[in-house]
Amino acid sequence: MFDIENKKQVISFEETDPYNPQNKVRGYINRRQGSLYGSIIITHVNDNSCEQFIYATPKMHYPFDKNRKFEFPSYDKLEVYEKLDGTNILSYMYHDGETYYLTYKTRLRPFLGSGQFGDFKSLWDEILGTYPSIEIVCRTPTHNISFELYGKRNKILVDYDIPLDTKLLFARDAKTGYIYSPESIKEQIKSIPSLNILFSGDIVNEEIYLKHQKDLTDSLEVDEEKQIIKGKEGTVWYFITNNHVEQIKCKPDGILKYHWSSDAISYESIYTTCINAFENFDNPSYTDIKLLLEEEFTLDKIERSNTRIKNILERVRFDKKIQQEVIKEYQKLGIDINKDKASVMRHFANLYDKRNARRIYTLLNMWVNK
């Protein structure tokens, strides 16, 4: 399904499945953009050869190029859903030749994990505890199911009011890769949180798309000084035929400008890429960030942004380190910040620069009141 010999476009892995720790799994992950982005070829389970292909969450694109020339996919029907700004979590089942096992993954990893600067497994386990029916719905070898994990505790660009939540994005046929929208499977998934359809129709053109994009832009709240964005990150348009579904994204200009606004890559685009990198690498390097940026930007533009990329990566790494340290220190302190905020903040004032006080309080408040 994809070329495992192209070392630049695949990631080889050999990892233990944290949801089935008796299984050590080997294989390859596709990092090339398109419908097979993040998909997996499993070659071995516990050293037993049992090749199988796992469809993952595809990389979506815009219906226009950078010269704003539009081209829409063919379709019989259109459905539009909100595009959430978080971490993609995919449920899938694999087998060892005899038994099927349920597990979960982020985009460019085979499984969820606990790294030095992030613990997506713990976050997802909280979600599974909140919505136990997710596991029931996902426990089928016929479909892989894509979710978005979002909220204040997993912030990328958009500032949501809730600490942590999830929504089902779509299901994907495990054999054919066909994508099923939430609306098309609503009876099967009614027991778990999923996206609601925003609107549907059978007529799509440039004028309709641009009018919708303007509506998104008008409703977006952007505070550039505080780096806070509120509103919808965008929408996903499902172009549906009898045997094919193509997903097209639409983002408001307030977010889209961060990607294409100058000769160098914008701060926001690099920052988002660095945050996303921690979903896929325990401690991402500059090379890892560069490879992720190559999915959307030219090498020339990346090279012009070289210093900015390195500086932002170090800032994100520092923020991740502080986050882990602060939570660990707070748990040792044994004082409830809701009951004695002054004592807690005095304690941290002795450990960190006072300029970080607001940031530390926000982090702790989100963690304690999750």
CATH number at residue 146: 3.30.470.30
The answer to the question of residue 204 being in a domain is: yes
The answer to the question of residue 116 being in a domain is: yes
The answer to the question of residue 50 being in a domain is: no
The answer to the question of residue 245 being in a domain is: yes
Q: Region 111-124: what's the mean pLDDT?
A: 83
Instruction: Determine what percent of the chain is predicted with pLDDT higher than 90.
Output: 53
Residue 194: domain span: 58-252
Rounded CA separation 238/79 (Å): 5
Does the structure show a pLDDT above 80 at 220?
Answer: yes
Q: Is the dihedral of CA 246, 298, 205, 257 positive or negative?
A: positive
Write out pLDDT tens, residues 9-43. Answer: 899 999 999 999 999 999 999 998 889 999 999 99
Rounded CA separation 335/341 (Å): 9
Does the structure show a pLDDT above 80 at 228?
Answer: no
Distances (CA, A) of 101 to 76, 138, 140: 36, 11, 9
Instruction: Determine what percent of the chain is predicted with pLDDT higher than 70.
Output: 94
The answer to the question of residue 303 being in a domain is: no
At 199 the pLDDT is: 93
Write out pLDDT tens, residues 316-328. Answer: 887 888 778 888 8
Burial 160-182 (b: 16+ CB within 10 A, else e): beebbbbbbbbbbebeebebbbb
The answer to the question of residue 81 being in a domain is: yes
The answer to the question of residue 318 being in a domain is: no
Strands 118-119 and 221-223, by their bridges, are unpaired
Tokens at 294, concatenated? 């190559």
The answer to the question of residue 71 being in a domain is: yes
Number of domains into which the chain is organized: 1
Rounded CA separation 97/49 (Å): 8
Rounded CA separation 327/368 (Å): 9
Comparing 69-73, 226-230, 355-359, which segment has the lowest mean pLDDT? 226-230
Contact in structure between 315 and 289 (CB atoms under 8 Å): no
Does the structure show a pLDDT above 90 at 196?
Answer: yes
